[in-house]
Structure 1
């Protein structure tokens, strides 16, 4: 499977990646500055019209101009069409654009104004040539590859002056026990939500919005962006972490890993092992996708009986995360159903096998602001 400009622009995070790269180029280029201004105006208008709580701090008449702005996504497409072709991004540019795309993911509410702008068909068309240039970058190689078992690392996070423990915390339960407890809790939470929450999906209500396996399981990433581990750089719903420990993960040979590269891969996983979570996800996934549907996700306890891990490739993340993915179901769950990949990080593998182990030795990374994450030991 080859990632193309068209398939990259299929997904909300892929579209945002391309937009962030184009917008971030050429600080001194008048055309790029013009693009940033028009995009800001259009994104503000998209958010304002959807009732987003947006505050504009301005001096003079700027605030009044924005409050009545009629700048549309089509205006952004016109400016994009006027930009010259761009060379492939540098590793640093690509890293910044990827991080911005991941940081802006939010599956518990309506997407932000920029995501609405970039979803416009005219803007997607205008971004196609830039998407092709981005994929020509050597830094984009490997985004569709199977999990690289020999290069896996896991990340443990810290805030402020927190001191890391000598050893990472280990859940005493087996993976099978973790998954059994997760399934029971997920079903109970969904039944409670059906009893206690309104059935109107537009209601202002939120719950457990993610569809990833339980967090107590070992998870790892393998790719690097500009010399930095992907698991440090690209994290959805990131907290105020300022330090991270990165530890090697040993993956024995012979383990079976399911690769997710496309919406079809995720839909097949949901069809094979469906878990109805409509009560719990109804409101969050409506707000993030705009779809009224029955909602399902994979029953990870059942998936774990067939494979030892699931790997969401970077391609799969960029194409699929945050989309409403159609799932054709039969039997008791037959009818309109969809799912959302939410809460997974790019290139993340979640392991269902206790044979996967985490090393004691680690690297220490710290956040240094604009320059991102830096290795300190």
Structure 2
């Protein structure tokens, strides 16, 4: 096993754009959930999942609603049942307003060595549009306290292409983020996901998102500002200082084995052509299965050769490393360029091959879904 993911589904409140599984915080439920994760971890080890763990990620939801002691117990359980690599990357997502000095120091002492802060914007009017439950002051304080606690691998989240967002507002957010000198930045264009309050408002015409031209302009501006500041644009939505790309997510894009625990979590099993498993996004059902000692995950997709080829392309082409032609040939016994000659031609000069690796340039990333459809 390379990766381990804990899904922590609790939030102070649900953001209107979010389509991840989450529920509003209940203090007793959060504490009980930590014990369920510990038991599920033991079951997974007994059922054949093997370590050591190279990357571990607490995602959500809002993992920073967990007490540091719960995080410490879980990490000790991982070390006991699977083993943690000496250089393991251990990430935890946190929202400003849910952390203080004591909590951040506790996470760091427990072994968390990478903190991801979901600030999204540093302007009050944009935070209000996103329905975020924290303030600009809380974001700034969270960064200060994180550094004070010893976090030297800090990732900050930015959302752009918001309803009515001006070019100046984007520049102001980028200015503010760069002042913090984070090691990593995740920058996501706002999308209206089906089934979310935002999705319903956009579908009903109550909210208008930027059109394709403005979205492209903002995306390219984010790229230009951050690359000029020394960040590597290593995946469509992610930028990092040298040596600080998120190893856990890189494992996902490379189809490396990953065990997901917790309600709503997903796993990837690298047997045959690969298998994806999911835990039901239902807290009561998760608790029942863990208490009964049952496997909490169900297989949702078993890949055949064609499906594995398509996923390697889909995931690899999201990154600046793209897809290595020799690796593709070794895995599937076919030449990538010959197999997808028509699709490659339709990408024009937006798909390039350098040193045996096929990758999209920045224009290709802008049209990612359209161009990728030629391969599928």
Normalised to the residue count of structure 2, the TM-score between the two structures is 0.26
Larger RCO (CA within 8 A; separation ≥ 6): 1
